[in-house]
Amino acid sequence: MAGKLDASGTAAMGTLDTALAHAAGLLRAQPHLALRQAREILRAVPGHPQAVLIEGQAQRLAGDLPGARITLSRLAAAQPRSAATAYELGLTAAALGEVNVATSSFRRAIALRPDLAAAWLSLAATLREAGREQEASQADLGAIRASTRDPQLLEAAVAMGEGRFEAAEPLLRDRLRTDPNDVAAIRMLGELAWRIGRIDDALALLRLAVERAPGFEAARELLLRILAQGSDVTEALVHADRLVADDPGNPAHAMLKASLLVRVGDQEGARAIYATLARHDSSRLRVWLNLGHVEKTMGNQAEAIAAYRRAIAINPAIGEAWWSLANLKTVELGDGDIAAMLAALDEVSDNEDAVHLHFALGKAYEDAGNAAESFAQYDRANRLRRGELDYDPRRITAASLEHAGLFSAPFLAARAGQGCPARDPVFIVGLPRAGSTLVEQILASHSMIEGTMELPDMMMIAQRLESRVEEGEFASLGAAMAILSSTDLARLGEEYLDRTRVHRKTGKPRFIDKMPNNWQHVGLIRLILPNAAIIDARRHPMACCFSGWKQHFARGQVFSYDLAEIGTYYGDYVAQMAAFDRAAPGAVHRVIYERMVADTPGEVRRLLDHVGVPFEEACLEFWRTRRAVRTASSEQVRQPIFTDAVEHWRMFTPWLGPLETALGPLATSYPAVPEDLGRGKPAEAG
């Protein structure tokens, strides 16, 4: 501690400035000592403004709020131009619950120093506690504006704009050491973490920013967008609701909320938002496209067509709208549409538009019976799309062999009775375009079963386990799986149920997860949810693979843009499922599409028996069930079962040689599975 001061302000062990600095330095950690030091200074230099300010601060921090109130009020009357005094008086009044005095003091501090971000934030917190949310949000924005005037933040912003993250990060961290409540710096550091791939850090920082400044729209929007990239959109929806409430006239926020509602299956809510946006501004292309997608999902075909046509009227070269029309399957594009699309191809510079247009032209020529030109258009579309993708089919082959070797009968038997015992999920796996949407619609027509959508949650759980191998924690997936205890397996099963609960709207005891790619994880499903039903929807390989190849999927399914690669993928799938059938006989129920078409009543009864629910007549009249269907077959399953698709692929036989070669014996043995598929021997689990 500095020595005592004499009346002239000189200390035996330092100057007045040294004593004041020492007292100020004690405030946070030792306010009682700071108070003693301030009063010692005031005995030597009565009424010194800075010493009185420290006295008031120390009283507040030591818990003597009434005393601080008296000290700071007197100082504010004597020093009306002191922003720091007004700010401290505001903090004390707020702690005492004197809202009017606190807000008045904070506003006084801000008037004297508009760049005092801490005063803005304290004003916002006081107003928010008093229920004055709109004023609080405006104060949040004042804090952001105050912070962004800081030269250090400006320098960091320039560095980030130039991609010099290694230069920006120390500037931001230094700023936060000086002012830990600078929400602008917190938000910038969160964005930096996101841009360099530290997602968990980014989320933590952005959550902190919106906690300290709930009206900080830019921080909340970035947080929402990062959350929306994951599978759990529940938290993202909370932030979307707040953004829309704070700025109801902002169409970007409304669009974000609508996209999240689609993700959780609230098509009605999304439709209402898009329809409102379309009424307010009929020139917004993306609104009409998204409205069309929702109308299609809900089964409102006429409305979907009208929305897509409105998008095309705004921009005739918008490939997504043309493909969306073609993708309705039950809509035929005529000569005028073909001419318009060919003209659009001459105008487009965007590769995505070109891909969509070629796929749509392929469908239009197919409907017209021109197989050669149809195949040529599909081929151009697939070549363009495949050129954009980083896909190595050898990884799928290796993974299927590893799965076959790992999930052997002894491995599964050793873990029998473990996992989460819930019977809720019904998994439908296989390849896209194999009839899985038909199976889903049949099951969703049952009073005990809810149809949801293609859920990514099992894949995410599997990827988390696989990442431990990729990061070197385990030598193989088998080693990673081997250490999972009975408690771990049950916890993973419960995690899946928790993650998917947001998609369940009806309270029915069973629900469907129709993610086809889950065939790669049937072993994991069996371990963590041993009572879940697994349905394998299978279709003739030539028909299934060709149908997948001529389908432009919105996302995923990267194996489908080359005939040979999709044939190889089909073979890997069949080989792995055959191995699993041997390891766990009866665990998977196989629905052969052609048999379902030929004997629907018999196949439906066998399907319901496997799921463990009684037969209901509604399952035979599945097309009458009104529900949201998001897949490419959405319109087809709203009609009675039809047979024309079974042999449709044969009109393209002259061009399907690469597919037939890749399939090998599978092309002719279907539905039987040859013993030797030429894919090597599974490695036994270690």
Q: Which residues contact 161 (CB under 8 A, 6 or more apart)?
A: none
Q: In what order do the strands lie in the sheet with 425-430?
A: 449-453, 510-513, 425-430, 533-538, 588-592
Report strand pairing: 588-592 vs 533-538.
parallel
* 334-354 pLDDT per residue, tens: 999 999 999 999 888 788 899
Look-up: residue for tokens 């006989």? 585
Quote the crossing angle between the two packed helices 335-345 and 319-326, to the nearest 10°. Answer: 150
The listed range with the strongest mean pLDDT (17-21, 277-281, 461-465, 526-530) is: 526-530
Percent of the chain with pLDDT over 70: 93
pLDDT (0 to 100) of residue 183: 85
Q: Does 451 have pLDDT greater than 60?
A: yes
* 357-385 pLDDT per residue, tens: 999 999 999 999 999 999 999 999 999 99
Residue (of 167, 236, 247, 171) closest to 203 by Cα position = 236
Helix (H) or strand (E) holding 660: helix 657-663
DSSP state of 682: P
Q: Does 638 have pLDDT greater than 80?
A: no
Q: Does 605 have pLDDT greater than 60?
A: yes
The listed range with the strongest mean pLDDT (114-128, 157-171, 292-306) is: 292-306
- Work out the average pLDDT over 609-635: 75
Q: Does 627 have pLDDT greater than 50?
A: no
Q: What is the 3-state secondary structure (H, E, C) of 403-433?
A: HHHHCCHHHHHCCCCCCCCCCCEEEEEECCC
- Work out the average pLDDT over 254-274: 91
CATH 3.40.50.300 for domain 416-454+510-669: yes
Q: How far is CA 499 from CA 230, 264, 319, 513, 548, in A?
A: 11, 11, 34, 12, 29
Q: Does 683 have pLDDT greater than 80?
A: no
pLDDT (0 to 100) of residue 631: 47
- Residue 42 CB coordination number (10 Å): 16
- Work out the average pLDDT over 215-232: 84
pLDDT band at 635 (very low <50, low <70, confident <90, very high): very low
The domain spans of the chain are 416-454+510-669
Contact 450, 457 (CB under 8 A): no
Rounded distance between C-alpha atoms, residue 635 and residue 623, angstroms:
9
Q: Which residues contact 276 (CB under 8 A, 6 or more apart)?
A: 254
Report strand pairing: 510-513 vs 533-538.
unpaired
End-to-end Cα spacing for the chain: 67
Rounded distance between C-alpha atoms, residue 147 and residue 118, angstroms:
9
pLDDT (0 to 100) of residue 645: 65
DSSP bridge pairs for 537: 430, 591
pLDDT (0 to 100) of residue 10: 41
Peptide bond into 432 cis (omega under 30): no
pLDDT (0 to 100) of residue 130: 80
Rounded distance between C-alpha atoms, residue 621 and residue 601, angstroms:
10
pLDDT band at 5 (very low <50, low <70, confident <90, very high): low
Q: Does 633 have pLDDT greater than 50?
A: no
Q: Does 641 have pLDDT greater than 80?
A: no
Q: Which phi and psi (to 5°) does residue 426 adopt?
A: -120, 110
Residue (of 443, 470, 412) closest to 603 by Cα position = 443
Q: What is the 3-state secondary structure (H, E, C) of 216-280?
A: CHHHHHHHHHHHHCCCCCHHHHHHHHHHHHHCCCCHHHHHHHHHHHHHCCCHHHHHHHHHHHHHH
* 276-302 pLDDT per residue, tens: 999 988 888 889 999 999 998 888 889
Q: How far is CA 167 from CA 153, 190, 319, 417, in A?
A: 12, 15, 42, 55
Query: In 419-428, which positions are buried (b, 16+ CB within 10 angstroms) versus exposed (e)?
Result: bbebebbbbb
User: Hey, is 446 helix, strand or coil?
Assistant: coil
